[in-house]
Amino acid sequence: MDPVTIIEGCAIATVDAQRTEYRRGHVVVRGNRIAAVGAGQAPEPEPGARRFDGRGCLLTPGLVNTHHHLYQWITRGLAVDSSLFEWLTTLYPIWAGIDEDAVRVAATGALAALAGTGCTTTTDHHYLFPREGGDLLGAEIAAAEEVGLRFHPCRGSMDLGASTGGLPPDHVVESLDDILAASAEAIARWHDPSFDSMLRIALAPCSPFSVTPNLLCESAVLARSSGVRLHTHLAETIDEQHYCEQNFGCTPAQYLERLGWLGPDVWYAHAIHLDDAAIATMAKTGTGVAHCPTSNARIGAGVARTAALVHAGVPVGLGVDGAASNEAGSMIEEPRNALLYARNKGGPGAMTARTALELATIGGARVLGRDTEIGSIEVGKLADLALWRLDTAAHAGIDDPVTALVLGSAPPLAALIVNGRAVARDGEVRTVAMDAVAAQVARAQAALIAKAG
């Protein structure tokens, strides 16, 4: 018999299509699926059910992170005052030294940070594969299994080095044939399309200034023939726009449209510098966006037109982005920052607290093609849930729990449940030893910096 978990006495924001909320309600989980949700106390369970006292808490769907670079967790705090292109050219020589061990340590630290801030599903965009690095994708997949998060790693790639007009150094790029072979192997080895999958692969050539048109086209053919999704950086900075105008005679969005990179199986990271025509095309084709407000501000890349994207019907989720451009790696900060930056650009009516929460949950699920499985608290969906303590001194007096969560201080987690399993309890990630992880991260960063010399 499947184990039963009951969470009761809490406020609930289901984030379903009707925005159903309960001031005091319950959720019953059977195995890894939600069996019941409603107001008041839960019905009497069978013996042995695990119960969570949710009084003073808000229950939401687990947060969904739609863009990250986990390996960067061991290169935080570097080039902090640089533009994107300056930042990249500073860090590429350091990143060139990563190996399997370093990536596993970095990924464990970054994934644990996500879990501790309410994230139950995350992507990763790993595009750097040094020749002697070992099984880097396998290392982060092992880390995600250990931490216990639902994982969508993207097999990234770069084949346009500095000698042929790209930004990355030649020694960190791969050949087209090697990339396609490794991409096909990653799909065959790891991709699980099942309803309750904990692991799905996407293909992700890095950016217009680090990959060739052939790589973008061939990756799209491979992904679509294999039934996996496509991801890339797009329209992140004005420098990128100038690069595309000079090299392709068009904007970044127009460039990817020419190459067939539109559709409900595609999502772009950042998508800051878009005109009305690009937004309309994305909305029409169902092309998604990973909005990364904290990283965008950290790099000084600009303020995305998030309200316009949402209003047009573009699928929008949130992402923390790589830890070298968002040292906190805190998923709960992203809905707050998305709201603040949207209002800074468009006024107080540009985004509500509930829309911000939707971007962090069902919005991200939609971007990843999993909105029938995760992203809201509904019967039959997977039990990915975050229980937030709002009875702290920092939240006292904020009557609306969603406002307290999104606009108040980041609250502690009473529990984080992923696929029916408790990953965090009482403000602590329980699946890994956090002190040991922190020590390993510090050693890995020192070793990587020393290797770069």
Helix residue ranges, H only, 236-332: 238-248, 252-258, 276-285, 293-299, 306-312
| DSSP-assigned letter for residue 35 | E
Query: Within 10 Å of residue 376's Cβ, how many Cβ atoms?
Result: 24
**Angle, to 10 degrees, between the axis of helix 100-115 and the axis of helix 136-147?**
30
Query: Within 10 Å of residue 63's Cβ, how many Cβ atoms?
Result: 28
Residue, of 93 and 417, whose pLDDT is higher:
417
- Residue 46: which pLDDT band, with cuts at 50, 70 and 90? confident
Separate counts of helices (H) and strands (E) for the chain = 15, 17
pLDDT score recorded for residue 187: 98
Report all structural domains of the chain as residue ranges with CATH numbers, in order of start: 1-453 (3.20.20.140)
Selection from 99, 100, 83, 101 nearest residue 91 by Cα: 83
pLDDT score recorded for residue 239: 92
- Give the whole-angstrom CA distance, residue 362 versus residue 374: 7
pLDDT score recorded for residue 168: 84
Express as a percent the part of the chain with pLDDT over 90: 90
Element (H, E) at 25: strand 21-30
- Give the whole-angstrom CA distance, residue 192 versus residue 178: 23
pLDDT score recorded for residue 324: 87
Residues 225-279 have pLDDT tens digits of 999 999 999 999 999 999 999 999 999 999 999 999 999 999 999 999 999 999 9
- Residue 180: which pLDDT band, with cuts at 50, 70 and 90? very high
Q: What is the DSSP string of 50-94?
A: EEEE-TTEEEEEPEEE----GGGGGGTTSSTT--HHHHHHHHHHH
- Give the whole-angstrom CA distance, residue 239 versus residue 300: 12
- Give the whole-angstrom CA distance, residue 385 versus residue 40: 18
Express as a percent the part of the chain with pLDDT over 70: 100
| Residues 160, 166 contacting (CB under 8 angstroms) | yes
